[in-house]
Amino acid sequence: MTDAAAQTEAKSGPVLAADGRPLKASLRRALRAQKMRALLLIAPLLLFIMITFILPIADMLFRSVENQIVSETLPRTVVALEDWEDHDQPPSEDVYAALYYDLFEAAEFRIHSRVGSRLNYEMTGVSSLFRQSGRGVGRFDTDIYTDQFAELDADWADPRVWATLMEDESVRAALPETASAYDGWVNVTIEANEDDPLEEDVEDYVYTALYRDLAARGYDGSSAMLSEAAEAVGAFETVSLREQFAEIDEDWLDPAVFETIWVYSPNYTAGYFLTAVDLQLTADGIEPQSEDLRVYLTLFKRTMFMSLVIMGSCVLLGYPIAFLLANLPMRISNILLILVLLPFWTSLLVRTSAWKVLLQQQGVINDILVWIGLVADNDRLALINNQTGTIIAMTHILLPFMILPLYSVMQTIPPSYVRAAKSLGATDWTAFWRVYFPQSVPGIGAGCILVFILAIGYYITPELVGGRTGTFISNRIAYHISTSLNWGLAAALGSILLILVLALYWAYDRIVGIDNVKLG
């Protein structure tokens, strides 16, 4: 047939449609229109999912490696630290000067303590160091530079003179530190203080930069004012910025602080992911986290293990119920189905709190056990605020997600198969195990995937009934999102959880086959 068509085509050119166009193009056009229509129909949903689901998740995942805050807040310091060689000694005066300019500007924008909190995740104490220093840099003794320049020539105190000077490209090239400090100051004045840089007094740190430039490089350009200043600075009274910082806090002399800034200065970091698997990023590379800080791997393992146990107990409890539902007359099974669905209509919190009343040591279950005499009054069972509590409460909450797919799959299994098996001499057990059960496996698969994936991300129930041994990794994620505000670490933990789920899904597909999952 194809050959015949090809022969015809070869003989008389392409086959034409009624309107004279080649049939192939016409068909393609019709198909494209159809595809477009389909795409347009799903477009609202697609857009909705993109905007409300995919993009936020992508943004969150991106936070797990993002680390721009250090290099954006302390740009000069990060550059200056590149020349720092002996990491056992505090860095040179250049680094302290860069830090001075950076911190001053950051403090004006009130963002210096953000970078402090960021670095505090890596090194305890940096948070308050930055907070104090943000205030402290405004009180440095660097006003002596300002005064000495003004004494030399009153024009130095005039912001308009500065503005004219800083427009000159050759001056900017000769005084790079001053140019950078001045630009920063102009930015701060306009953006943070909403003032006019032509009216406001130039800050001390710009004079400090000018002094440092002139003292280090001299000046041989055309500006008379600068030449005069360059000659005079040799006799200036000076102030050590390192000592100024040390006066705010001795910790500024600790090389470890600069080491931390240096290690976390790149725009992207693996630090959060490493912390999430109980490792840490140091100047010497990746090292295991100190033993008393290791918690995340334990929690990941516990989350996996307990989710599997919960899934298992859902299968054990759910299968007989689904079997019963599928094999009872419709009228009775409908009533029973309502009982299965009933918990869905109750708040999750109410259900969890109800378990507290039932399971606690002075609770209903323990009271009954004591009354029967199974348990001594002074030796009541600990059923809550531990793993047992989490497993019991979550099995109950997730049970409907197991029963419903099982039920809908079992309903489609024709009873005649089991009857046929029995009529051929199979026992009840053989008929069930060899004929009925294999047909219900897709329902088990669907239920297991649902329950497991829901369990792995559960947070409220373990928080309320988990005590100290029954909490999940999601509780730590919630803590980092809402309390410690370490969103990077929360994102890294969340990403790992996502990867784990995808890996398990893939493994399931390889072992059982995803085609073998049915929701009905």
Q: How far apart are CA 280 and CA 344, in angstroms?
A: 43
Tell me the closest approach of the beta carbon of residue 452 to another protein, in angstroms. Answer: 22
Closest separation between CB of residue 121 and another protein, Å?
A: 6
Q: Which is nearer to another protein, 63 or 422 (CB)?
A: 63
Name the residue among 243, 183, 189, 233 with its Cα closest to residue 213: 233
C-beta closer to another protein: residue 243 or 287: 287
**CA quadruple 491, 492, 494, 500: dihedral, nearest 10:** 160
- Looking at the Cβ atoms of 385 and 495, the one nearer to another protein is 385
**Nearer to another protein by C-beta: 388 or 484?**
484
Q: Does 463 bind another protein (CB under 8 A)?
A: yes
Supply the DSSP symbol for 201.
P
Tell me whether residue 281 or residue 325 sits nearer to another protein (CB atom).
Answer: 281
Residue 390 binds to another protein (criterion: CB under 8 A): no
Contact flag: residue 127 with another protein (CB under 8 A): yes
Q: Which of 298, 334, 412, 423 binds another protein (CB under 8 A)?
A: 298
Site for another protein in 477-516 (CB under 8 A): 479, 481-486
Tell me if 467 contacts another protein by CB under 8 A. yes
Sole window of 93-101, 105-113, 228-236, 419-427 interacting with another protein (rule: CB under 8 A): 105-113
Residue 137: CB minimum distance to another protein, A: 15
CA distance 495 to 108: 35
Nearer to another protein, 443 or 470 (CB): 470
- Give Cβ neighbours of residue 116 (< 8 Å, ≥ 6 apart): 126, 127, 128, 129, 130, 131
Tell me whether residue 313 or residue 352 sits nearer to another protein (CB atom).
352
CA-to-CA distance for 445 and 409, rounded, in angstroms? 11
Query: By CB under 8 A, how many residues form the interface with another protein?
Result: 42
Q: How many CB atoms lie within 10 A of CB 365?
A: 19
- Count CA atoms within 13 Å of residue 223 on its CB side: 23
- CB of residue 84 to another protein, shortest distance in Å: 25
Give me the helices (H) in 19-142, please.
Answer: 23-49, 55-63, 68-73, 75-80, 93-108, 112-120, 126-136
Measured from the CB atom, the residue of 72 and 228 that comes closer to another protein is: 72
DSSP, collapsed to helix, strand or coil, labels residue 262 as: helix
Give the per-residue contact string, 273-292, with another protein (x = CB under 8 A; - = no). Answer: -------------------x
| 360 scored as a contact of another protein (CB under 8 A) | yes
Total residues found in the chain within this entry:
520
List of residues 6+ apart from 278 with CB closer than 8 A: 288, 289, 293, 294, 295, 296, 297
Which residue among 114, 351, 422, 518 contacts another protein (CB under 8 A)?
114
Part of the chain binding another protein (CB under 8 A), chosen from 163-171, 407-415, 448-456, 473-481? 473-481
* Contact residues for 366 (Cβ-Cβ < 8 A; gap 6+): 359, 360, 375, 380, 381, 383
Report the DSSP beta bridge partners of residue 280: 287
CB 177 to another protein: min, Å: 27
- Our finding on whether 464 is near another protein (CB under 8 A) is yes
The nearer residue to another protein, 2 or 362, going by C-beta atoms, is 362
Residue appearing with tokens 């799903």: 42
The residues binding another protein (CB under 8 A) are 109-111, 113-114, 116-117, 120-121, 124-128, 131, 292-295, 298-299, 302, 356, 360-363, 385, 463-464, 467-469, 471, 476, 479, 481-486
